[in-house]
């Protein structure tokens, strides 16, 4: 395995050492870590290999699927439309997407979509595998879907359907496909090497994703996987319909689609940059992403309690997870941290009190529901360094 590459501030040498130690795991392949404090980057590290044959070294510009770490970018994109006065958080989604009003959804608001309270965590009717890559097929399925519960009464994470629940309103408000909008209005202004729909010339930079073997996750993960054994249940439908969701991660069709909930492709540096700006209220060094009042709403608690989909306690703002009340859901820093994990290990978040932007990615997927222990260990190590410097 390769040595750790990149930059670190000597004050965070213990974090670099921990990052290197994680590579000693026999199943470790490749990973990257980037952390900002205030306006400075204090860690920008990478190590390991990016291909399944362990022959290609992880490079500075290697990309990786970060799965649900994509969701907050889509949420910010929609909140930019709120800032521009094109829609209100409590406006009915059907006002801009009339077809959406079908099947008991006429009163659902944008706020309910963003906070996972709309009851649309999954599509109940079986979908063909190829539907995953057909924008019209998936929006039609969302239009036809009845809520799994009365909208607004409870919450349940929408791992996949979130892509079209927020992506179609964004498309109608901006006349752009979501990935194109993100590139122009978020990624380019922030200098992020991040893509929802990877261009042909960048496909060769994407690391191959594999799964850790003989790992069983925490108790919530075991409960979730057990629930996914019921093909008619919410958990299976949310994570397994269409079935191609489970089998497409390393395929160009997935990498080049615009699935705003799950197929963002980027690196730790880009995640840290995004969260660095949100940690500073949405604007930093002359770059404006979102009004500070909307950032405050983004990270205000909108949903709390037992999650109907994930079968564990969760707290959500608008398109972001908040610091959870159990260890497996913690970002590892302050009580006001907010961000989002991605399936299998990726993590991006901001701690506004410590002014931290954090990004971690890996190409070996773990089985944990929220924060992967590898990312959690690193964030806690960063926090220890910060407290030692106070």
285-331 tens-digit pLDDT: 999 999 999 999 999 999 999 999 999 999 999 999 999 988 889 99
pLDDT band at 220 (very low <50, low <70, confident <90, very high): confident
Beta bridge partners of 316: 303, 321
pLDDT confidence tier of residue 216, bands split at 50, 70 and 90: confident
Q: How far apart are CA 72 and CA 63, in angstroms?
A: 18
66/62 Cα distance (integer angstroms): 12
Which residues have C-beta within 8 Å of that of residue 1, sequence separation ≥ 6?
23, 28, 47, 48, 49
As given in the structure block, the two tokens for residue 181 are 């909008």
Q: What is the CA radius of gyration of the chain?
A: 19
Average pLDDT over residues 274-278: 98
pLDDT at residue number 238: 97
Q: Per this entry, what is the length of the chain? A: 390
pLDDT greater than 90 at residue 90: yes
Mean pLDDT of 163-189: 98
pLDDT surpassing 70 at residue 52: yes
Q: Across residues 95-103, what is the average pLDDT?
A: 98
CA distance 390 to 385: 9
Mean pLDDT over 254-278 rounds to 98
Specify the pLDDT at position 276. 98
pLDDT-wise least confident of 32-41, 93-102, 218-227, 373-382? 218-227
- The pLDDT of residue 41 is 98
* Residue 218's pLDDT band (cuts 50, 70, 90): confident
Q: Which residues are within 8 A (CB) of 166 and not within 5 positions of it... i.e. 6 or more apart?
A: 74, 75, 77, 78, 113, 114, 178, 260, 261, 319
Tell me whether strands 364-365 and 40-48 are parallel, antiparallel or unpaired: unpaired
Average pLDDT along the chain: 96
Residue 390's pLDDT is what?
77
Q: What is the mean pLDDT of residues 342-346?
A: 93
The residues near 198 (Cβ < 8 Å, ≥ 6 apart) are: 63, 206, 255, 256, 265
Tell whether the model's pLDDT for residue 1 goes beyond 60: no
Q: Coil, strand or helix: which one is 380? A: helix
What pLDDT is stored for residue 381 in this prediction? 98
pLDDT digits (tens, 9 = 90+) for 110-122: 999 999 999 999 9
% of the chain residues with pLDDT over 70 = 99
Q: What is the pLDDT of residue 73?
A: 98
* Distance, CA of 374 to chain centre: 17
Distance CA 344, CA 210 (A): 9
Q: What average pLDDT does range 213-229 have in this prediction?
A: 85
The structure tokens listed for 259 are 């699935």
pLDDT tens per residue, range 224-254: 989 888 989 999 999 999 999 999 999 999 9
Q: What is the pLDDT of residue 2?
A: 65
What structural domains and CATH numbers belong to the chain? Answer: 5-67+206-218+266-389 (3.40.710.10)
pLDDT surpasses 90 at 362 = yes
Q: Can you tell me the distance from the alpha carbon of 244 to that of 21, in angstroms, rounded to the nearest whole number?
A: 35
Collapsing DSSP to helix, strand or coil, 350 comes out as strand
ω into 357 cis (within 30 of 0): no
Of the candidates 35, 24, 119, 139, which has an alpha carbon nearest to the alpha carbon of residue 361?
35
pLDDT at residue 169 tops 90: yes
Count CB atoms within 10 A of the CB of residue 5. Answer: 15
């Amino acid at each position: 395995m390769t040595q750790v590459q990149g930059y670190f501030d000597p004050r965070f040498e213990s974090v670099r050492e921990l990052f290197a130690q994680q590579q000693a795991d026999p199943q470790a392949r490749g990973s990257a870590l980037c952390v900002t404090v205030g306006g400075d980057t204090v860690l920008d590290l990478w190590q390991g290999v990016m291909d399944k044959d362990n022959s290609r070294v992880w490079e500075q510009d290697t990309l990786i699927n970060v799965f649900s770490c994509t969701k907050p970018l889509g949420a910010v994109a929609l909140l930019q439309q709120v800032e521009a006065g094109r829609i209100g958080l409590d406006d009915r989604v059907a006002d801009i997407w009339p077809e959406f009003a079908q099947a008991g959804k006429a009163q659902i608001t944008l706020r309910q979509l963003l906070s996972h309270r709309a009851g649309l965590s999954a599509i109940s009717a079986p979908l063909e595998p190829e539907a995953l890559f057909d924008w019209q097929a998936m929006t039609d399925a969302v239009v036809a879907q009845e809520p799994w519960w009365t909208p607004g009464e409870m919450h349940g994470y929408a791992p996949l359907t979130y892509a079209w629940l927020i992506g179609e309103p964004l498309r109608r408000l901006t006349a752009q496909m979501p990935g194109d909008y993100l590139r122009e209005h978020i990624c380019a202004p922030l200098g992020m090497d991040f893509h929802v729909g990877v261009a042909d010339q960048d496909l060769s930079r994407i690391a191959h994703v594999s799964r850790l073997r003989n790992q069983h996750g925490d108790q919530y993960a075991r409960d979730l996987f057990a629930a996914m054994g019921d093909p008619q249940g919410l958990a299976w439908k949310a994570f397994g319909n269409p079935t191609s969701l489970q089998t497409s991660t390393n395929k160009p069709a997935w990498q080049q689609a615009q699935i705003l909930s799950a197929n963002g492709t980027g690196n730790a540096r880009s995640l840290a940059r995004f969260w660095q700006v949100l940690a500073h209220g949405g604007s930093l060094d002359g770059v404006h992403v979102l009004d500070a009042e909307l950032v405050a709403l983004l990270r205000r608690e909108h949903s709390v309690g037992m999650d109907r989909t994930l079968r564990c306690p969760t707290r959500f703002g608008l398109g972001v997870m908040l610091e959870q009340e159990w260890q497996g859901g913690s970002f590892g820093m302050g009580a006001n941290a907010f961000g989002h994990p991605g399936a299998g290990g990726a993590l991006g978040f901001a701690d506004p009190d410590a002014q931290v932007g954090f990004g971690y990615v890996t190409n070996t997927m773990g089985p944990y529901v929220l924060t992967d222990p590898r990312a959690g260990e690193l964030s806690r190590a960063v926090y220890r360094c910060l407290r030692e410097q106070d």
